[in-house]
Structure 1
Amino acid sequence: MSSSKPSKSSVKPLLISAGVAVAAITLGLVSWQATAPADKVRADRSPGSSASAAPRNDAATALQALARREAGDKLALGRADAPVVLIEYSDFKCGYCGKFARDTEPELVKKYVEDGTLRIEWRNFPIFGAESEAAAKAAWAAGQQDRFAAFHAAAYSEGSKEKGFAEPRLVELARVAGVPDLERFTADMAGEQAAAALKKDQEEGYRIGVTSTPSFLLNGKPIAGAQPLDAFTTAIAQAKAAAARP
């Protein structure tokens, strides 16, 4: 599997703790059915890195703290105080992201979000170029009118990414998603707030070592790739049990 690395001009240098450095290596190594641009190779994923000696508990604590748990988060679904938080780093042009969105995520929502166990927080993490970034900003813009989840579903529907994400297509997806004010949607999509929100998500992902999509954090535990439903249900059950312990 190839991987993606930000250019020096696109991501500011960020200080990371030893614990998060462990997480970066973990996310770089534990990849299964994840996708990344073929023309970019990351050189810092060696298991022999000195950061691998840092305490694993520090890494889990640092990653768990990334859950924003903001009640008004437009790119989140589920209770802010849910015992389990799944953070998803994804790209709308990623085939495995689409597979997860169609086959697995709806089951997680039905089984765990609706009963208050799980909260899903999406992070836009475009790694496949200009159209990926445009789709990410469009998803954010749809969220400003409380239609992020519907836009997410429309953009990841079967065959959607093959049609591309040029602006007319994004407006059409917003219409399908039921965004009420398309003029506002278009303005929001091109605005500074959308760009800032996207940059925040990207910098967070790169800081902890996300190199491919989809990648996940489940209560601080890295999960890479569109793994089967059983892998997520097992991990959610374990995280819920751990959260219940004093």
Structure 2
Amino acid sequence: MGIHRFLWLSLLILTACTGQTATVPATPTLPPPGAPTSTPVTAQSDPIVTAYYPDLPRGRTPEGYHYLGNPDAPVTIMVYSDFLCTTCAIYTLDLEPQVIEAFVVTGKARLVYRHLLQLGERSQLLAEASECAADHGKFWEMRHELYARYNQLYFNTRETTIDLAQGLGIPADAFSACLDAHTYRAQVEADYSAATAEGVFARPVFRIGNETLVGMPRFEALAQVIERAAQR
């Protein structure tokens, strides 16, 4: 006898014996796959990184992409990433500091950041927010803070970015005006279109020399690719 038939027969017997109506507990409704399950908290709950490798050079490539490190470094680590991407956040927070210490601080490589807008309107807003922060010299700091709180940014996205900007010393009025005017919408959309034209359809993606890595690499694998690019 199947378990479901057995349960219903048991309930009918119980009802007949007691004269009372039996009920079956409802199955709890689970959140849809991929839905954020963390409780949103305010941006001020964690310390703000006010300076992200302040001794390293920073600027923009001729195409307008942000770089960190020696602009004349022999190797460029091109990172294509989305601010709502979990794997991208893990890379930025856990692996990238090792890469920076081993290759960027030493002058062997520079980082170049590319915007992906693969997860909807919030991805677009966060990319624009990072560019608005760049107006105040805080692109890399804002980038770090956005990834540190990527799971909070599904909730109150705009308000959280404004809180982060204030924590970085950026005037809220100027930052909000930049967001509301969509000052950098065309720029980040153009970056995303260029990435798609270059064959980038996943996240994160790393282009180093003539090699491409997709997803979260091990440090050893990434280091080997960087070393090979340096020898060419």
TM-score (ref. length: structure 2): 0.69
SS of the counterpart of 1:146?
coil
2:141 counterpart of 1:155: no
What is the correspondence of 1:68-217 to structure 2 with a 5 Å cutoff? 70=61, 75-157=66-148, 159-164=149-154, 166-176=157-167, 178-217=168-207
Q: Provide the rounded CA distance (Å) in 2 between the counterparts of 1:161 and 1:94.
A: 9
Report which structure shows greater RCO (CA 8 Å, sep ≥6).
1
Mark the CA change 1:131 to 1:111 in structure 2 (over 3 Å): closer, same or farther.
same
User: Does the 8 A contact of 1:69 with 1:80 survive in 2?
Assistant: no
Partner Cα distance (2:159, 2:142) in 1 = 14
The DSSP-based 3-state class of the residue aligned with 1:126 is coil
Number of residues of Structure 1 aligned to a counterpart in Structure 2: 174
Indicate conservation of the 8 Å contact 1:137/1:195, yes or no.
yes
Query: In the alignment, is the contact (CA less than 8 A) between 2:86 and 2:150 conserved in 1?
Result: no
Letter in 2 for 1:141: C
RMSD: 2.3
The higher radius of gyration belongs to 2
Instruction: Give the % identical residues.
Output: 24
SS of the residue aligned with 1:156? helix
Equivalent in 220, 228, 236 of residue 218 of structure 2: 228
Letter of the 2:162 counterpart: V
Calculate the TM-score normalised by the size of structure 1.
0.65
Q: Which whole-Å deviations, capped at 9, do the CAs of 1:73-122 have from their partners, x for residues lacking one?
A: 67210121110101111111100000100111111111211111111111
Segments of 5+ residues of structure 1 without an aligned counterpart are: 1-37, 39-67
Structure 1 consecutive aligned stretches of length 4 or more whose deviation exceeds 3 Å? 71-74, 190-193
Gaps spanning 5+ residues in structure 2: where? 1-33, 35-58
